[in-house]
Structure 1
Amino acid sequence: MTKSGKTPLAEYLKQRKSESEDANGSVNKVIEKRQREMERRLREKIVLWRSPVTTLKYFILEASTLFTLLCARLYGRKKSVMLVLSFITFLVLVYYIEGAHQKTVASMEKTFLWCAYWVGLGILSSVGLGTGLHTFLLYLGPHIAAVTLAAYECMTVDFPEPPYPTEIVCPEEESSKYISMWTIISKVRLEAFMWGAGTAIGELPPYFMARAARLSGADLDDDEFEEIEELIEEKKTHPDDMSFLEKAKLSVHNLVQRVGFFGILLCASIPNPLFDLAGITCGHFLIPFWTFFGATLIGKAIIKMHIQQIFVIFLFSEHHVDTVVSLIGKIPKFGPTLQTPFKDYLTAQKTKLHHKPGTSSSKEGGNILAWIFEKVVMVMVAYFVLSIINSMAQNYHKRLCKAKRNR
C-alpha cells in the first residue's frame, strides 16, 4: 500500500488509462484535422467554372437559409420591426404631403441619397461575402481625381449645382483663388467619409459571427481563426519556419488581442487586407461592440480616408499629371503612341469643364481611355457577382459539413 491508500497496481492501471485517453484524444484531433482539411479542399472546388450545377444549387439553398434566418430574427423582434415600419410610414407621409416643408425635404433627400450611394459602395468594398468590389479604385478615387483636375483648371471648387456632382463644369465667373490641397479635401470630405463609414459597416459581419459563436459556446467554424490557432501552436514549436503572410496574420491577431482599441485603430488606419481577421478576433474575445466599431470607424473613415485623399490629390495635381504624361512619351518605341490617348483625354476633359450645362462635347464618349475604364468596371462587377455566388455556395457546403460532424 502507498501513502494514498492505493496499491501500486491500481496506480499503474490509472496511469495507463490516463495515457491511453491522452493518446486517443491526440489521434481524434489528428483525424478531425485531416477531415477538415479534406472538406476545405473539396470546398475550394465548388466554383462556377468547375461545378456549375452544384455551385448554383448550393447558392440557392444558402440564400434560402439566410432569408429564413432573417425572417425568424425579425419575427423575434416584432416591437423593433413595428417601430421601424411606423417611422418609415411617417417619413413617407411627410415626403408626399404638400406644404412649405417640401423644399427642405427635397434638399434632405438629395443629401441623403448622395450619402447612401457612397455608404453602399463602401459596404460593397469590404463586405463582399469573402470578396470585395474595389469601389475606391472604380468610383471614389476617380471622383477625387476629377475634382482635383477641375479645381486646378477652374481655379475654384465652387462648381454649379446642378450639374455637380453628376457633371463638373467651371462656373461662368472667372476665379483666381489659390487652390490648396486642403481646399480639395474639404470639397470631397463628405463622399470620402461616407465611403469610409461604409467600409467600417462592412467589417461587422465577421465580428458578430465570432461573437455569437463564442456566446453560444459553439466552436467558431471559420477557416481563418482555425489557421491562426494552428499558427500560434506552430510559433511555440517552430517560430523560424513561418512565412511572411503567416507572421502578418499572427501579428494582427496578437496586436488586436493585446492592445485593444488602439490596436484595432492602427489596423483600420492603414491598407490592411487582413482586417477581417481583426473582426473575428474581436468577436471571439468579446471585445465590446463600440470599442471595435468606434476604432474601426475612426480608423477607416477619418485617418485612412484622409491619407488616401492626400495621395490621390497629390498624384493628380496638374503639374504631376503633366510630368507623368511627359514621362510616358519618353518610353522607347511605344512612348508617343501611348502618350497620345492620355493627351487627348486630358484635353477633352479640360474642354468639357468649360462647356455650359446641357451642352455636349464632340469628343464625349469617344475616348479610348473612357472605353477601357468602362470595360474594366464591367469585368470587375461581373467578377464580384461570381465571387459572391461561389462564396455563398461554399458557405452552404460548410454548413453541411458542420451538421455532419455534429451528428
Structure 2
Amino acid sequence: MAANGARCGQPQKRPGAKAKQNGKSTDSSVRERRQKDKEDRLSLVVWRRPVTTLHYFLLETLIKLKEWTVKLWQRRGTVFLVLLLCSLFSFAYSTEGAHQHYVKYLEKRFLWCAYWVGLGILSSVGLGTGLHTFLLYLGPHIASVTLAAYECGSTDFPEPPYPDQIVCPQGGGMEGSISLFSIMSKVRLEACMWGAGTAIGELPPYFMARAARQSGADPEDEDYEEFEEMLDRFISNMCFMISVACAFQIPNPLFDLAGITCGHFMVPFWTFFGATLIGKAIVKMHIQVGI
C-alpha cells in the first residue's frame, strides 16, 4: 500500500506535447500531399501532358461504360420491356392496316410535342445565352390562338399542328363562351412541353457542378469545410422548395446559379429536376399563359 501511495503521489507525465507534435507533423504531411495532388491535377491538361491526359480519359471512359453496363444488367427487366415496346411500335408503324390512323395521330402528336420541347431547350440552355423562344414562338402562338378564339367565338378549331389559317367551326360559338381558362386549355399542351424543355435546358450547369464536386478538388481550409457541411445540410433539406421558387420567377436570368448550387452540394438528380419541372412546366407556364 505504501508503494502504491508513493507511486500515486509522484507527478505523472503528460503525453500531450508529444501527441501535439505528432498531430502537427501529420497535418503538415496531409497538407503537403494535398498540395502535391492539387499541382498534379492542375498540370494534367491536354496541352501540357497530352499522352497522360488521353490515357486517363480512355480509362475513365472504360470505367463509365462498365458501370453503365452493370446498371443496365441490374435493370434488365426494364430494358427488355423498353426494347419490346420499341419493337412493337416499329412493327405497327411499318405494317399496313386500320391501325395506321392511330399511328399517324400518335406520330403527329409526338412530333408536335418534340418541336416545343426543343424550343424550350434552346431557350434555357447555355448559361443564360439561349434563344428566347417564348417571345419568338410561344408568345405569338398564344396570341394567335387567343385572337382566333375571340374571332370564331369558340376554341373548337382544328387540333395542332394548326394550318396557316385557323379555320373556325361552322355555326360559331355562343357569345361570351370564351374565357381565360378555355384559352389556357387550348394552349396547355404547347406551354407544358415548352416548360419541360426549359427544365431540361437547366441540367448542364447541374451536371457540370456535380462533376466538379466529384473530382475531389475540396478546399483545405477546415473552417470552410465545417461551413460547407452546414450549408450542405441546409441545401439538401431546402433544395426542392428553393428550386421550385426559383424556377417560376419571371424574369429569371439567374436560375443557372440554382442548378450550379444543387450540383455542387450533390442534391439528388430527381429532386432537382422534379422541382425544376414543377416550377417551369406547371407553375411558370400558367403564369405566362395568364399574362
Please state which band the TM-score falls in when normalised by the shorter chain.
Answer: 0.5 to 0.7
Structure 1 residues 220 and 108: CA distance shift in structure 2, 3 A: farther
Alpha carbon RMSD of aligned pairs, Å?
Answer: 4.6
1:262 to 208, 229, 241: 241
Tell me whether 1:101 sits opposite 2:80 in the alignment: no
1:157 to 132, 152, 155: 155
| Alpha-carbon offset, residue 109 of structure 1 | 1.4
Question: 1: distance between equivalents of 2:127 and 2:245?
Answer: 24
Question: 2: distance between equivalents of 1:182 and 1:137?
Answer: 21
- Report the residue type matching 1:207 in the other structure: Y
* Secondary structure of 2:156 counterpart: coil
Question: 2: distance between equivalents of 1:90 and 1:147?
Answer: 36
Query: Is this contact kept in 2: 1:121–1:135, CA < 8 A?
Result: yes
Which residue is equivalent to 1:309? 289
Unmatched runs of 5 consecutive residues or more in structure 1: 37-60, 227-231, 237-252, 312-407
What do residues 360-382 of structure 1 show as CA deviations (whole Å, max 9, x unaligned)? Answer: xxxxxxxxxxxxxxxxxxxxxxx
Which residue is equivalent to 1:183? 182
Query: Is this contact kept in 1: 2:235–2:265, CA < 8 A?
Result: no
Query: Is this contact kept in 2: 1:159–1:168, CA < 8 A?
Result: no
1:4 to 10, 14, 36: 14
What do residues 103-133 of structure 1 show as CA deviations (whole Å, max 9, x unaligned)? Answer: 1112111111111111121122223377322
How do 1:99-178 residues align onto structure 2 when only pairs under 5 Å count?
Answer: 99-128=97-126, 131-160=129-158, 165-171=162-168, 172-178=170-176
Query: Is this contact kept in 2: 1:121–1:198, CA < 8 A?
Result: yes
| Alpha-carbon offset, residue 207 of structure 1 | 3.1
Matched length: 254
Structure 1 residues 81 and 212: CA distance shift in structure 2, 3 A: farther
* Secondary structure of 1:287 counterpart: coil
What do residues 210-246 of structure 1 show as CA deviations (whole Å, max 9, x unaligned)? Answer: 44555xx42369xxxx9xxxxx97xx9xxxxxxxxxx
| Alpha-carbon offset, residue 267 of structure 1 | 1.2
Unmatched runs of 5 consecutive residues or more in structure 2: 1-10, 43-53
Tell me whether 1:274 sits opposite 2:237 in the alignment: no
Structure 1 residues 71 and 119: CA distance shift in structure 2, 3 A: farther
Query: Is this contact kept in 2: 1:207–1:280, CA < 8 A?
Result: yes
| Alpha-carbon offset, residue 185 of structure 1 | 0.8
What do residues 135-160 of structure 1 show as CA deviations (whole Å, max 9, x unaligned)? Answer: 11211111111112222222222224
Q: Which has the higher contact order (CA 8 A, sep 6+)?
A: 1
Tell me whether 1:289 sits opposite 2:288 in the alignment: no
What do residues 168-199 of structure 1 show as CA deviations (whole Å, max 9, x unaligned)? Answer: 42424343432221121111011001111111
What do residues 266-314 of structure 1 show as CA deviations (whole Å, max 9, x unaligned)? Answer: 1112132222222233233333333222221111111001111111xxx
| Alpha-carbon offset, residue 94 of structure 1 | 0.5
- Range with greater deviation from structure 2 (68-77 or 289-298): 68-77
| Alpha-carbon offset, residue 17 of structure 1 | 6.3
- Report the residue type matching 1:116 in the other structure: A
Structure 1 residues 128 and 71: CA distance shift in structure 2, 3 A: farther
Which residue is equivalent to 2:7? none
Structure 1 residues 5 and 99: CA distance shift in structure 2, 3 A: closer
- Report the residue type matching 2:144 in the other structure: A
Which residue is equivalent to 2:193? 194
| Alpha-carbon offset, residue 97 of structure 1 | 0.5
Question: 2: distance between equivalents of 1:113 and 1:11?
Answer: 70
Question: 1: distance between equivalents of 2:217 and 2:283?
Answer: 31
Which residue is equivalent to 1:92? 90
Query: Is this contact kept in 2: 1:257–1:281, CA < 8 A?
Result: no
Question: 1: distance between equivalents of 2:84 and 2:141?
Answer: 37
What do residues 315-343 of structure 1 show as CA deviations (whole Å, max 9, x unaligned)? Answer: xxxxxxxxxxxxxxxxxxxxxxxxxxxxx
Structure 1 residues 203 and 11: CA distance shift in structure 2, 3 A: closer
> Is the radius of gyration larger for structure 1 or structure 2?
2
Structure 1 residues 89 and 11: CA distance shift in structure 2, 3 A: closer
Query: Is this contact kept in 2: 1:126–1:202, CA < 8 A?
Result: yes
Structure 1 residues 220 and 93: CA distance shift in structure 2, 3 A: farther
Question: 2: distance between equivalents of 1:212 and 1:155?
Answer: 54
Query: Is this contact kept in 1: 2:127–2:205, CA < 8 A?
Result: no
Question: 1: distance between equivalents of 2:217 and 2:81?
Answer: 33
Question: 2: distance between equivalents of 1:210 and 1:87?
Answer: 35
**TM-score normalised according to structure 1 size:** 0.49
